[in-house]
Each structure stands twice: as C-alpha cells, then as structure tokens.
Structure 1
C-alpha cells in the first residue's frame, strides 16, 4: 500500500480544479482502503515502504543533554560522586537485599531536573563505571509493560521484542540486566500517596532490577520528594534542585535572548539593561528563560522588550509561557495546540509532523502556488526557534530530526486545544459512558473532538465511541497486538461514518515487522 497524498483544506481557498482533484484523491483513498483490508492479516508480500512515525510506540526521550548547559556542573559532580561512593549498596526491601540503591532529584516543573539527569547520564556514559546506562521517561500515566519495554530497549540498544504478557517481558528484561552493573534513570515520576495502585505499579517497575550486579544505581527525578521515597530513596539522598545564582541565571537568559542577534552597539547596551530587569521577573526558571529569551531574540526591538518588561505576565513560569504563546502567529499557535494529541515526552519527527499539519489544512499562504508542506515547514521552524519544540536526538537510532515538547508546554497545549484534541493512554475500563483510567481517573470522550489518539487498539471503543465523533479529522492508533490485527470491518466503519476524517494512522504487521498505514 502506497502512502496516500494528503488533502488540502477547503478553508485555504480551493479552486474548482483543486476541489475536483481532492475529490478524486478521496475516491482513491477509499479504493486503496479496500485493497488494504485484504492485507490486514500478516501479508507475505507488500509494497508498503513507510518508516515508523514519531508517534509510534517505544519512542522515548533521549539521555543526551542539550548542547549547552549553564550552571549545573557542581550539581552534576555531587550526584556523580553519590553514584560512585562506597556506601552499603544493599538496602532492605521486605526481607531481602537489593543490588541497587536509589538517588532522587526533586523540584518544580521547568527547574531543570531532566537536564541535570541528562548531564549525569552523559558523564557516566563516558566514564564507564556502569556497564549499562538506561534512560526511561515515566510521567503521570504509565503502564508497566511500556516502561519494561523502554528499559529493555535502552539496555540492549535494540527494539524490544513483541511479548504477549507482562511476565515474559519482565523475564526478558532480567536476562538483559543479568550480571550488569547499571545506572537506570527514571525521569519525571509522579506519585500520589493516596493512590495505592500507583504505588504498586512503581514497585513493579523496580522488580526486575535485582537481576543486576551490586553497585547498580537508580536515579529518579520528580516534582515531589514523596515519589523518591516511595521508590526507596533515603532522606539524605533526596536532592532538591538548586536555584541558579542570579549571575548564572542572567548568563543563561542572555544566551537565549541574544544568540545570533545583530544590533547596533548602543541598542545592544540598552537591550542588555532591559534583559537584566526581565531576568529578575522570571524567578530563576530555566524553562522560562529559554522560552521568553527565544521570543525576545526574534524581536530585538527596544520598545518591544521594554513593554515585555513592564507587564505582569512574566511573574511566573506559566504566565511567561502563555505570553510567549500569544506572540506566535495564529497558524503557528494552531500547529502547537495540535501537539497536545501526543503523549508526554513523545519524540516527534519533523517530516511526519509537517505532513500532519498539511493534511489538516493548517497551511495559510499569500502565495497560492506554494506547497502546503513548505508552508507548514515554516511553522515548524518558528516553533523550534521559539523553543516550543526542542531538538532531541533519538536515543536508540541516533536520528537527528526528532523533537520534543516540554511537559509544561504540553500542559499549555492541552489548555489551548481544549476538547479539540483527545488522547487515551495505557489501560482503561468502561463505566457507563465514561472511561476509567488506572488510578480511578474518569474521562469523557468529548463529542466535538477533532483529533484523537488511541494508544491501545480496541474495536468496541472505536465502533461505539469514536465512530460517533462526526467532527473527527484525525485518528491515530498507536499500538495493535500482532496476534489481533485491526478488523477490516472496523476500518470500513471508519471510512463510511467519519465523513471529515483527514488523517488515519493504523499499525499493521507483516513478515518485515510493523508498518503504518497512512491516508
């Protein structure tokens, strides 16, 4: 199955010829889908040549730090010393000893926890003290099997094999860790001490680790100390994020605000003075320094900087992010909001994201002859320049065209997207018309949802819920069991009932592995 060309949005101002061409493409998509149904059951031959998109399962954040880190060398030295010290590595866990100990970093969102742990990882990968260095992002809603799979991939540097049950996945991970002294980073762990199920899941994550060698370490980052203690960190090994000194923070902020900015010498002096005053309002938040600095860098105008300084919107991190968002072009804001459809810390491939935006009709251009993907590439470049998309090299493959949305920025994207974007991650169960997630969180599927992400395929959910969303334009199904492919009747139902659908991504399996059907 060949990848279908994306359709242009009628809101762009279609000519009759373009409208006719689009209708012909729709007809072709339906005809192609009929052929696709016949290939759903593990075909032996296929002319599909689709790369695994960035929203595919198993894409995780990278352990590599940003190209520039200011003011964290001393913190990194202290943590590395803890990782290498001669403490008694065995700690009591029920009535048996562990081969590892836990060290934790805690601090508010945007304070630099992940960056610091990335710096530690980079140091350890060069040092060779540990046989394995693994990086896994956990986040608020997680499934144990997904975390095990990411740990296995980080340890072996190869894709995790498909397993049908959690026990087999755990056994495979224990084999990978056996006889190895490892450093495991569990980044962004959330914990509610009233949620017994969440505590049990965190303990389950730790269960395969005793296959390693004594001296192994687990480095945890979280917004709260409670999460670190729940994972076994001693009080004296729960490290609060240090606040950057005023001079160091100003250096960091000026780096983002003045990087590659060319202005007259007199203007530079005046901008430097305003930057010093703005930096004081940001209260030491590295994320705010990066985002606000990026916006100022694109507009090196004295009046603009002065007006930014005089407002009260920069007095807290989220206020600073909202201010920066408001200064994006309208269509760029629309593309950013669309990113809320993806799970936290999901690596996003540049080419796939641009194609998705073009397919949704987000492109606006005064040049009627300009290709919609070229227009959307411009939007992408602006989001990168403003640090709303941050470059991350893919950990396992070394791909360099991958990007990530910081957690706080994703919170902002969720707010501005509202009910337009909806995602269902990990396990859930039904309670009437609601979806109950692990931990008891209840979600209603909004009837006006336009963009829908589903992590685990469920035919009943699709036919009974999703097919009733008559405004739906995007459906991304991320995970499908290799032994239970998507039924052709379900796909037919999608094509027949979802009249406004523009993007459909479904994983299918053949003898070459997993491929993704796009239309």
Structure 2
C-alpha cells in the first residue's frame, strides 16, 4: 500500500512538473499567446508529453489498489473469524489506570504532591469550580501522582464528594457522565441519554463541594469539553477538577490557568524505582557490581518512571552480572511484551491524524539529542509533500501549526532558545518510538557503515550521520533507486575534500530533498539537473566558487540554502528560471558580486537573506520591486551602486510588509575616490527612498556615505526595537531617536566626525525620551568630546551602557555613571 501511495505521488509530481515547464515556456511568449495556449495545456500534456502513458498508469494503479482491497477484506474476514471462534471482542479501551497507589513506592514526587495538594485545597478565583491540568509526556507518572493526591487525607477532608473517571482516547460524553454518576451514588446508572444523565448529575452535585479527576483526557474539541462540564457549575464553590493529559492543547481548552507540567525524574530517582522492583536476593542487593550496572540501566530511563518500572520488573529475580548486563544492552522496544513500554507510548502516535504521523515519523532521520529548528523542519516537510494545502494559506504557516500540534502532544520538548530561534528536542524514548513506527520508510546510517548500505536499503527517506572524524567523504550509489525521496547528510563538523560521484544523481532521480551541507565540496556535478523533482537543496558551508548552470533546470525547487558558502562569487546566470523558489539563503558576509540577470522574476521568494546590487542594467536594486512576499531578514549590499534616487524608490521596500529586519550596506570607499565624490551628494536621497515598511523592527545601516539622515528614521510611529549605525564616516551628528517608543537597543560605532551628542539626538517635546531603551553601545568614536543636556528622567529602562575606544570623551550623563 505504501509503495502504491508513493507511485501515485510520483505520478502527480510528474504531471505538476510538466505543467510548470509548460507554463514557464509559455511565459517567454507574449501574454495573449500564453493565455490562449494555457486553456489547452492539460490536454496537450496528456496527449503529447505523456504519449498516452498517463491513463495506462492510472488504470494499473487502480487495478493494484482493487487487488489490495480484496486482500485486506480477506484478512479482515479471517481475523474476525478468529475472534468469533475464541469468543472475544476487541476492546476499545486503550489502557487501565491505577486504582490505588502506595505512596511508599512513589519516588521523586514529594514536591509535586505538595504543590498539587496546595492547589486543590485553595480557593477558586472565579466560578464554582476550577480546573487544574496536569500535563506531561507518556510515562512521567501523571496518573500515579493524581491518584496519590486523590487519596491524600488532607485532600479527602476538603471535599464532600470525590470521583475518578478514566477517559482515554475514545471520548464519549454519555459514558463519562454515567461513570461520574456511578462514582457519586456507588450504584449502577440505568440512564442512557445525555440529557437525562446531565440532569441527574446536576442534581447530585448541587451545593456539593466535589473533586473530580478526569484521567487520560485526549479530546481536543472545545464542544466536547463544553458539553461535559455543563453540570459541574452547580457544585459548591471551590470544587476542583484535575485533568491529566499529554496534550498542552487540551490544557488550554479545559482551563485558562497555567497547566502544572510534570518534570522527568533524576537518574538517582530512576535507580530507586528500579531497586524497588528488581532482585529480591540479599546478595544481589548488596552487590556493588550489580549496583554499578543498575545505575547505568537507570540512565536509559531518561527520567521516565514508566521505563524504570518496566526495567525493574525485567530485573526481578535476576541476580547475576551477566543477566543485568543483558538488560543494559537490550533496546527498549525489544523488551518482552508484558514489560514493554511502547504500547502506552504508541497511543500518542496513533491518536495523531495521518498527516502528523508522517511528519513525526520523518523526524527519526535525525540523531538523538538533535536540536530541531521549527522553520527548517517545516521546509523539509513541505518538500516531502506532507503539508496539505488549505485555500490560500501559506504552506509554511500550516507546517508551523503541524509542529505546534506535535509539541502540544508532548512529542517535542522546548529546551532553550537563542537570539533568533527556539530550540526543541525529542525525548530519547519518543525518538525511539519514531524509529519504530518509521522503520519501513526511514533509514538512518552512520558514515562508517555506508558500505553495508550501497542501495540505501529499501527506505524512502535516508540520512547519513557523520561524526566529523573522517577527513573527507565520497558519496556514490551503485544502482538506480526509484523509491528514495530523501538524502540527508548530517555532520557535526565541517569536513574538507568532499566529493560527489556524478552517478549519484543519475541513480537517485526521484529525490525531493537533498542535504549536502558541511561536506567541504569544491564543486557540484552538473548531473544535478537529473533531479527534476527536487524541492529542497542544502549546500551550506561548502567551498564552491560557482554552481553548475544545469541547476537552473530544477524548476520544482522550493528551497536553496547557501549559508556560509564564503567563497561563492556568483549564482548561475539563469537562476531566474527557478520560478517555484520560495527560500534562498545566502551568506551575508560572502563574496557574491551581484545577483544574476532578471533576478526580479523570482516573485515567489519569501526568504532572501542577501541581495547584492550590481552596476549593470538588470542587476540593480529595482529588481526587488515585485518581491512583495519577502519576509524575515533582508540585507542589501553594494548600495553605492544605486545610480539615482529613482532606482531606490523602484525597489519599493515600503511594500514589503512582512520584513522585520533590514540591513543596508555600502562598501567602504577610499577618501578622494571619484565614485565617493559622485555618490555623496545623492546618497541622502537614495537612503530616503529606501524607506522600509512600518513592520521593520531591526535596522542596520553600515558604511553610509551620505551626510544627512532620512526623516523616516525618526518618525515616532515606527516600531524599531533595535538600531545599529556603523561606519557612518561623513555624518557629524546622530539622528533624532528619542521619540521612538519601542526602541530597546541602540549601537553606534566608527563615526569619526561625531564630536557632541546633544538635544538633536533626544528630539523635541516634553515627554520622556527613549522610554524603552535598555542597551546603549558606543564604539570607535575617536573625536567624541562631550555628551550635553541629558536629563536624568530620560532612558528610564536603561540597564546596560558600553563605551569602547572613545579616548576624548570628557563627560557623559550621570544616569550612565549609576549603572
């Protein structure tokens, strides 16, 4: 079935690719001819390009699908007969939950218990009841902790009625309401319709202070919760509901309050859990050798008491070093069925919709402890075709929602952040589960083992892990593989002397994703044009001077990454033919000399990290005019080549509504240069016409060779949060910025003509100047003498002030001296 699905996907890709080529060819003609021809393009495709193969292929797929359906129906009949013969029925209940917990066996949850008891015995701020979501991934012990608190004497004495109901994956309001009633009455309930049940529950709870635990809640539908909780409002004030769930989305549905997130246990606590369930013999308990092995086994638990319990049960009555070492070497998914933790984990996967199951399983291509960047992962999912279009919404936005859903389901955990991104990781056990569910589709291999996988196995998605020890890499294939969609090389360190065999691309022509970053490649084989379905290509951190012109035939390409390719001096001449390109990442500090001719035709671009202005027509800044989809960060280099203010205005930066960072760079021109003298008089107007949209937050102006600042830089409605002025050698004053309400960071460096900072910098008016400024940096002000007329009421939020290389500065505001 999977192979048939991939064949169907490949066929659709072929149709889409040929249509794109057809449209690209027609766009070379005049608009009228193109419009007329486009009416018959599908018909032409089927009859000419495919030479009648398309109907035959569809018919063959349909026939194969019918055969598979007949086979599946036969298997269903056989399985049903087995169950009927055995007198069994298939249970819809996913798992049972604990009915009683001995607190002597609960390790590492003393603080958690105290916190929850405090929350349960406190008063409600609003309404008659409050909901406390208890959230965490599978195996953390949410149910155990909830039961521990439920049975606590202090909690029991605080409520008139206590009810415990297990929800599980199949939400049924009738069943749940009936269970709650039976917990209150301690007798069977014979009612069957929801209205009667809720009326009965409302009467039972009226005026009663109750505690209800809804264990293992899965439904992420607002309507389900609204229906279920309607009778709870009739209870007495300060009633409480505890909801245990793996989903942060569930938490946000059932409560406006912050969820209580359960943390993992320490390795020592896991070892305590293992000891409780392990060897019973005195010799085993006293053995220092077994204890040493046991502590190593505890690290495999990765903080999950469920795993510690399973491993402890497996060690029961095992008293020899060999037996314990065998457990240490056993993979978690190979544990005996009655001790295996994966059935419980698997519920998180099975509860996902099919499109999220694909996205989750795909993540097994990356090694454990991999730091996931959401934007990067979404681009890969998009290239693989995992993201289902919805109307006119951006695929990237839909992909971000996919990831948020996986994070909400506790399948990813946030582990930190940098200045421009949030870092996520997979818990090791979740990663193991991803490997289990993807083992037929995804293959991950270490480079040292590559010789054992000459055909990349039967995988559709393949990743090659390099630890950076090998000085060079030679990648090649020995036989054609029409199933492989993904080839990722994941390297910890940049290597040198990497080589790509030309045959590799000839054998792997169905690739959608190709990552060859950090391999130290000096060139890319021109056979890359055979990868006609390729949508994602990462060549970052390689040593190439140029890219092959044949690459411009990759019309399906959506993402091209060339970050930190510092020696790259030019892009292929026909880059404009990559009409589906959405993301082009370039090295902002590289040696790229200019953009190729007609670059402005790439109007689908959303990411363009760098645009290098050229001198000739067709290479200028005006090529940006129709790129209104640009978003994120844009660095425009070589602005000194902008010939006049009109060209700057034609770039239409004010129309780029989704840009949030703009960097404007001139190159340093030597004093007395004819070009400098020519440009100085007109650069002020050029900068004025490069006025960005009001959504830009971060602004960098570097080596500006004019002498006047534009008015837009000082407009009080601007949302600038960071401004950095560097190398403004011909300006003798600072712009007026005191009235910018959101400015948090301001840095100036290398302005040799600046002598005084005065009222002009603060601006006019009686309001507080720089109301949000937190950081101020001065660097390389060789002629700066004095800072005048500063008020102590200004810059009320300032907490960091840095001065470097300002040898002539004799005074500065007292506010800086108190920091």
Task: Report TM bin, short chain.
Answer: 0.3 to 0.5
With the length of structure 1 as denominator, give the TM-score of the two structures: 0.46
**Structure (1 or 2) with the greater helix fraction:** 1
